[in-house]
Structure 1
Amino acid sequence: MIDIAQRRILIDGEPRLVIAGEIHYFRTPREQWEHRLDQLADVGCNTVASYIPWLWHELPDGTIDLVGRSRAERDLAAFLDLCAARGLWFIARPGPFQMAELKNEGLPHRLYREHPEIMPVGWDGAPAPTSTVDYLAPAFLEEVEGWYAAVMPLLAEHLPSRGGPLIAVQLDNEIGMLAWITNSPDLTAHLLADLRGWIREHRSDAATSYPALERDDESWARTIRTPEEAWAGALRHDLTQFMRDRFARYVDVLAASATRHGIEGVPLLINIHGTSGGSGESFPIGISQLVDTYSGRPGVLSGSDHYVGDMTLDTTTDMYVINALQQAVHDDDQPLTSLEFEAGSGDYGDGLERMNEPSTADLKSRLFAAQGNRMLNYYLLAGGINPLLDTPVGDGNDRLAFTGRRHGFAAPIDPEGQESPTYAPLRAGVHQLLLHERHLADSVEELDDLALAFVIDSYATEYAHPGSEAMAAVVEDLRAHRGAGQRKALARSALLRGHRFDAVDVREMRPRPDGSARTVLMLASSAHLDPQVQQNLVAHLEAGGGLLMLGVLPELDLEGAPCRILADALGARAGELVREHPSFFPSVTCTSVPEVFGETRVSWWQELHALQATPVLSALDGTVCGIETQVGAGRAVLLAAGVPSHLGLFGHLLDRLGTRRGLKLTSSVPGVFATSTRDREGGRALHVLNITGYRPEVRIVLDGEELLLHPSPHTGYLLARGLELGGVRILEANAEVTEAGDGVLAFGAPAADRLRVVLATTDPVQAEGSEVEVTAEPPRAAGTPQADGADDGARTVITAAGPVRLTLG
């Protein structure tokens, strides 16, 4: 039985980590299935995930083969049975879209021949450049119903209630992605009729905003496909809101069909796309598009889909922010999951062009688990061979996918089944996660009173007519100022100081599930900001909250009309916006404490006029471009300049606004990140990631207790601060547990110069290692700092020059 509760995945009542590996049975010779599953189990995965391609299972005569009548590799039932025989769970991804480099994104070729009306046109009536469809076109939905009628009953036969391995079903894949990446909205005649009704319902000024609203269909089509500037601003915004609603209705159709055909008692999954060009900065576009398909919907989970390569200062910030923003629109029960968790070398072109650092998947997994991800699907775990199509189409290879004969070149298991150099590091990382499953499946990240303001409409930038200046002005502004702040300076600066923060959807400003406060919000501010969001931010300030803004002063709404709700509350007015050019190099300095942030080159600054505010930042000619001001009982700071990440400046301002850090971090080399987690049994862990190639000196103060560390390069540590393992409570450790059994504990290389472990026991402890010392300590005096979860009883302290193995009792 699978339940979703309190941001946990419960299987048979127990919190579990679902660690999956994607293996495409249809790309793997039938006689090798068992070997691939054995390799997956060796990695440590407890779950298999796979697409189930409609394109593969539909035969030329239109029938569906899911039991291997035509080819052994089509025997989905046999593959599921093999998973069950090995005690492995299964995540089904039956589409209808799969992507996965398949032809037509996994849809049968005949759909486009038989139903040309489902093929969208975009701006100016141009044909869509990708194999997308109008998701709600009646002909498409009828075909999807036929596919679901075939595949869902077979999956239902393998539900846990029937003794099967199926624990989740993904509905479609990366919905809306193709239209976004091509800036080609799906403007079919069917969709335009739907949009007309939606605008009538949602806009009180519909007739004046869209003069052709009540005219003939042809006039209406021209109005939308080739918009004039008079309504371009309204259309850009309306189209994104309408498509959110339409995607949600599409998922409702799929969910109803899956249920009708027997799927029940397991979560339905939505895969969120959005990373691009090795960066996660655009990922929240997928959240914006799909939020209404899963947010607050019982039994539905969202999963991230990310490809950013190595862990760097840039991508680590991306990863942390991706999780925070994804969780911001979940309800109090929905946990984080990742349905395509990048694994392997990153050499997706098979051209020896890239090789990820070996620690990459491990470090990402650790960060995601610390932030509350309960499901990780390593994609791809195993490559494979693209089979030939049953009917040649003359497209250059006549295979199932456009990648050629071999697929999944970067995977830890290559297309021929050989283990690549990334296999062993991934295996080590997965085994470490599962060693701590009891804690990680049940814990939550301990958060400070700080949050990133998630302005979801700042990511509603997927559509802009190429000839519209009105659309371009809004989109360019939003792209420049959103999320983690320009150059990711807000989030990165906070993370490198040790701030543990989440994100809040500022449309609703819902409280945290645990009731803890968000005293200060960090906002990447753009000129265009929704009126309701502006009002919510003002209310936050008036109630005594703090607001740190990085960006330009908001003075417009999302359609380009004047809107100064927040600006008026700040008592501010924007002046000239000065940008760099080849003969001008704008520079700024912190006015109040120049010793913290001296003269610094920036790419732009905006003049601010605010008589009642205190100058914080200024250009070298004295022009004020940063202010601090009182709003009700709260205070706000606006930095209207392209300042880079800077621990001194942002730390000074966060401290002034009243943030309190339960974890303080300083490192001799930037690139060490830390956070902490606590489970419902009181177990606690400190998570430290050194993403650099250095061994820096790191000082961490966690709730008043100091740790001095020298973490190894490209290494992560889960350090117990009150965890039950091996039958004993570990009060402190500066090394990671590598083995835990009945009466046995082993610790690896310490994150410090000398290993130190403190156990809550007075029983005899035998220790094997170099320069080992075992000391029984008396109870600590009252008021002495100690690890969380410790009591005042006697303790046993073990120190050593390196790894140790302990025998207890």
Structure 2
Amino acid sequence: MIELRDKTILIDGRPRLVLSGEVHYFRLRREDWQDRLDKLKAAGCNTVASYIPWLCHETVEGRIDLDGRSRPELDLGAFIDLCRANGLWFIARPGPFVMAELKNEGLPYWLYEKHPEIVPVGWDGKPATTHTVDYLAPGFLDAARRWYDAVMAVITPRLQPGGGNVIALQLDNEIGMLSWLSNCPDLTENVLADFAAWLKVRHRPESLRKRYPFDPDEPEARRAGIRSPAESYALALLRDLGHYMRDRFARYVATLRSWAETAGIRGIPFVVNIHGTGGGRALSFPIGISQLYPSYTQDFGYLSGSDFYLGNLTFDNFQDLYLCNAFMEAVHRPEQPLASMEFECGDGNYGNTYGNRLDPSAADFKARMCLAQGARLLNYYLFTGGHNYRLDPPPPDGDGRIAFTGERHGFAAPVDPDGRLNYSYPRLANLTRTVAAVADKLAAMWEEHDRVAFGFIPDYFMTESRHPASAAMATIVRNLEANRGPSAWETMARAMLLGGYRFGAVDLQNRPLDVKTTPVLALGSARYMDTAVQRKLADWLSAGGGLLLYGEVPLYGMEGEPCTLLAEALGTEISGFRQASERYFLALAADGWARPRPEVRSHFAQTFAAPLAEALLRVCDTGEICGFETAVGKGRAVVIGTAYPCDIALFRTALERLGAVAALRHDCENHGIFMTSTANAAGERFIHLLNLDGFDKRFHLYEHGRPLFDGHEIELRARDGVMLPLAMRFGEVKIEYATAEITAVSPDRIEFRATRRRGVIAVETARKLRVSPPCELRQDGPTTYGVLLRPAPHHDRIILCHERTGDG
């Protein structure tokens, strides 16, 4: 039985980590299946995931081949059974969409030919530029239902609760992504009629008439009014269409789930994966969260899974990954854990051009951060490459293959299309085996947080569809984009993480905001904010909350209507804006407790009249206030209404004045260290550390001002990461602390990886200990031992053997 409970994945009642690799059975010769599974097991994985492409299995309508009649590698049941014979769980991903560089995104050619009405048109009636479809079109649903019935007949007998190995089922793939990326919303006649019905439920008749100057029930009027909106109602449509599409996606997901359940799928979670990273950044990833969270939070039994493609995790983008995990967590139901269904691994050579070469640390770092934040499932994508065979009958498209990447596919994978290991495999395998060694601990641990959370407003990311000719839509979208991500993430979030803060996020739009659970809030704020959210923040501040606001104090609601509720609560009036130009060099001077600081350049400042506030930042040439601290009822707020540099000390002081102190600190002057901690109910802990730079670092760690690890120095090599144990028990052996990482655990030994030339493992046990040379073992008491680590050059493995006293 697979259960989601208290942010954990329980398999037969036991918390488990699912460490998976994506292996496309249909891209491999059947005789190569075992070889790829051997390499996956050797890398420490316990699960296989794969798309099940409709395009390949039903090339001709009504002739579905899931047992290998047409090609041996299409025997889905045989592949799942082989995984089970190898002791591996299986995650099924049957679409209908699968993408995976397949033609038509994995849909059969005949589907488009038979049902041309399912192909959307977008703004101004222009045809869709991607191979998307109207998800709720009757023709598409009828065909997809038959596909699901066929696939579920193979999967249902192989469910883990029934003795098989299938532990999860993904419903479709990256829902809404194609329309978003092309700015081409699905506006078929079917969608327009459905949207009109939705509008009548959403708005009262009189309000709807005022909102839109056309009759939604009249086909010609709504066709013109929605596809080519006028400026007078453009912002209303931006909001309504966004919320409608989210409801539409949720109904589609619920439909797919109902088909699966009718076919007998029970006792496993249904996965909805989230798209949105690219170019090494995740600034747009919350668009996917915003689009799909109503889909995967609508009922019990759903599991959301991220698609993370961030390349190397560096000083530039590490905060992106941390924030996106926090935002996912913020909208989750209480039982839902973090998971990643497409977790980038490999060397980055996606186009077989050697134009992008990732460091071996790339997947290692990202996995460590996700696990530290509570991820319970990672699916390495793509773990092994393969080959794209020719379809039968072949489409007249030049090569007739199943995908548009040529004959070979997955050039960047740790295992290449021909089965060879590339340079990314060893470190990925070492990391996965290390995680597997302590998986029982990690599977039931949660990240520890300081008294601060990051604010998340899903509607700030409802910007995926905007009419190209609408100046009103463009204005609000530009402001949201400027303030929701690059500004707050690059400055405030990075400063908080480098300052040692560990934090989650809060959904300000859909969840209650309470001082007891969220005493301090860091918020990237735009010029636009919903009236209800402004009121919620004002009430929370008055009740004693501490707000660090970075960006702009809102002037408007989300449809451009004047709304200054938050500004009024802050006791301020927005007096204007300053913008740098080629001839105007906007400079800022520190004031109040922010002094003394040098003047700094900026490109933007919002200015305030705040007579009761303490000024912190001023525009140099005018003296106008652009940053201040003020009391609000029982609470306090620090507002930085300007693009200010990543001043770690400034943001730390602001948060401390609001009541949030970072418990963890280090004394490395070079920064570039990410750190957080996890703990379980028994008090066992890991300190998670990443050295984001390309040079070694030596430092001490402190918690609440007291030295950790008895004051012993930590050394992290360039681009290295570790999980250091505290108060961790393995049977009769308790690791009080270690400045080395646990890599393997067995009944009579624990293996460690040393991160420096010298280090310490403090052990409490009644058992007799032995340690591998050249390390030293010192007994400090009847049951307490210290292991002085002196690993030999080029050998960092330390073996601690333990046996009962008196045993041979």
TM-score range, shorter chain: over 0.9
Q: What SS does the corresponding residue of 1:710 show, helix, strand or coil? A: strand
Partner residue, 1:785 = none
How far does the alpha carbon of each residue in 1:70-122 deviate from its partner, in whole angstroms, 9 at most, with x for none? 11011101101101111100000000000101101000111111111111111
How far does the alpha carbon of each residue in 1:21-76 deviate from its partner, in whole angstroms, 9 at most, with x for none? 00000001111011111111111110000000000000325310000111101110
CA distance in 2, matches of 1:91, 1:627: 52
Contact 1:118 1:137 in 2 (8 A): yes
Q: What SS does the corresponding residue of 1:151 show, helix, strand or coil? A: helix
How far does the alpha carbon of each residue in 1:775-794 deviate from its partner, in whole angstroms, 9 at most, with x for none? 3148xxxxxxxxxxxxxxx6
CA distance in 1, matches of 2:696, 2:584: 39
How far does the alpha carbon of each residue in 1:714-769 deviate from its partner, in whole angstroms, 9 at most, with x for none? 11111111111364111111111223222322322235x52111112354422233
TM-score (norm 1): 0.95
After the TM superposition, which of the residue ranges 298-307 and 601-610 deviates more from structure 2?
A: 601-610
Contact 1:667 1:699 in 2 (8 A): yes
1:805 pairs, out of 788, 796, 799, with 799
1:432 deviates by 0.6
Partner residue, 2:675 = 674
Q: What SS does the corresponding residue of 1:584 show, helix, strand or coil? A: coil
- Superposed, which structure 2 residues align to 1:252-401 within 5 Å? 252-295=254-297, 297-401=299-403
Partner residue, 1:72 = 72
Residue 728 of structure 2 aligns to which amino acid in structure 1? L
CA distance in 1, matches of 2:781, 2:610: 61
After the TM superposition, which of the residue ranges 584-593 and 183-192 deviates more from structure 2?
A: 584-593
Q: What SS does the corresponding residue of 2:697 show, helix, strand or coil? A: coil
Contact 1:574 1:608 in 2 (8 A): yes
CA distance in 1, matches of 2:298, 2:212: 33
Distance change in 2, residues 1:769/1:587 (3 Å) = farther
- Superposed, which structure 2 residues align to 1:104-503 within 5 Å? 104-204=104-204, 205-214=207-216, 216-295=218-297, 297-483=299-485, 485-503=487-505
Answering whether residue 774 of structure 2 is matched by residue 774 of structure 1, we say: no
Contact 2:594 2:616 in 1 (8 A): no
Percent identity reads 45
CA distance in 2, matches of 1:348, 1:120: 29
Residue 383 of structure 2 aligns to which amino acid in structure 1? L
**Which structure 1 residue ranges, 4+ long, deviate > 6 Å from structure 2?**
none
CA distance in 2, matches of 1:162, 1:763: 42
Distance change in 2, residues 1:336/1:215 (3 Å) = closer
- Superposed, which structure 2 residues align to 1:508-527 within 5 Å? 508-510=510-512, 517-527=517-527
Answering whether residue 711 of structure 2 is matched by residue 722 of structure 1, we say: no
Contact 1:206 1:213 in 2 (8 A): no
Partner residue, 1:574 = 574
CA distance in 2, matches of 1:160, 1:299: 15
Contact 1:746 1:805 in 2 (8 A): yes
1:293 deviates by 0.4
CA distance in 2, matches of 1:151, 1:355: 38
Contact 1:545 1:633 in 2 (8 A): yes
Q: What SS does the corresponding residue of 1:578 show, helix, strand or coil? A: strand
1:508 deviates by 3.6
How far does the alpha carbon of each residue in 1:691-718 deviate from its partner, in whole angstroms, 9 at most, with x for none? 2111123332124432432211111111
Aligned length: 791
1:596 deviates by 5.7
Q: What SS does the corresponding residue of 1:49 show, helix, strand or coil? A: strand
Contact 1:464 1:472 in 2 (8 A): yes
- Superposed, which structure 2 residues align to 1:710-789 within 5 Å? 710-725=715-730, 727-751=732-756, 754-761=758-765, 763-770=767-774, 772-777=776-781
Contact 2:350 2:410 in 1 (8 A): yes
How far does the alpha carbon of each residue in 1:347-382 deviate from its partner, in whole angstroms, 9 at most, with x for none? 111101111111111111111111110000000000
CA distance in 1, matches of 2:168, 2:245: 26
Distance change in 2, residues 1:568/1:594 (3 Å) = closer
Contact 1:509 1:536 in 2 (8 A): no
TM-score (norm 2): 0.96
CA distance in 2, matches of 1:314, 1:197: 45
CA distance in 1, matches of 2:648, 2:668: 11
Distance change in 2, residues 1:666/1:576 (3 Å) = farther
CA distance in 2, matches of 1:34, 1:461: 45
Partner residue, 1:783 = none
CA distance in 1, matches of 2:487, 2:456: 11
Contact 1:597 1:649 in 2 (8 A): no
Partner residue, 1:781 = none
CA distance in 1, matches of 2:578, 2:228: 33
CA distance in 2, matches of 1:755, 1:594: 40
Q: What SS does the corresponding residue of 2:316 show, helix, strand or coil? A: helix
Partner residue, 2:607 = 607
Contact 1:274 1:284 in 2 (8 A): yes
CA distance in 2, matches of 1:516, 1:423: 46
Residue 352 of structure 2 aligns to which amino acid in structure 1? D
Partner residue, 1:631 = 632
1:582 deviates by 2.1
Gaps of 5+ in 2: 804-808
CA distance in 2, matches of 1:746, 1:73: 40
1:536 deviates by 1.3
After the TM superposition, which of the residue ranges 767-776 and 571-580 deviates more from structure 2?
A: 767-776
- Superposed, which structure 2 residues align to 1:21-100 within 5 Å? 21-100=21-100
Gaps of 5+ in 1: 779-793
CA distance in 1, matches of 2:771, 2:420: 39
CA distance in 2, matches of 1:624, 1:482: 22
CA distance in 2, matches of 1:436, 1:449: 28
1:261 deviates by 1.0
CA distance in 1, matches of 2:66, 2:234: 48
After the TM superposition, which of the residue ranges 459-468 and 212-221 deviates more from structure 2?
A: 212-221
How far does the alpha carbon of each residue in 1:184-218 deviate from its partner, in whole angstroms, 9 at most, with x for none? 11011111111111112112311111110256211
CA RMSD of aligned residues (A): 1.7
How far does the alpha carbon of each residue in 1:556-603 deviate from its partner, in whole angstroms, 9 at most, with x for none? 011111111111111222233222222222121321245564211212
CA distance in 2, matches of 1:510, 1:556: 22
CA distance in 1, matches of 2:485, 2:298: 22
Contact 1:769 1:800 in 2 (8 A): no
Contact 1:485 1:491 in 2 (8 A): no
Q: What SS does the corresponding residue of 1:382 show, helix, strand or coil? A: coil
1:798 deviates by 1.9
1:306 deviates by 1.1
Distance change in 2, residues 1:406/1:517 (3 Å) = same
Distance change in 2, residues 1:683/1:214 (3 Å) = closer
1:516 deviates by 7.3
After the TM superposition, which of the residue ranges 371-380 and 536-545 deviates more from structure 2?
A: 536-545
After the TM superposition, which of the residue ranges 594-603 and 418-427 deviates more from structure 2?
A: 594-603
CA distance in 2, matches of 1:137, 1:508: 30
Partner residue, 1:642 = 643
Distance change in 2, residues 1:214/1:150 (3 Å) = closer
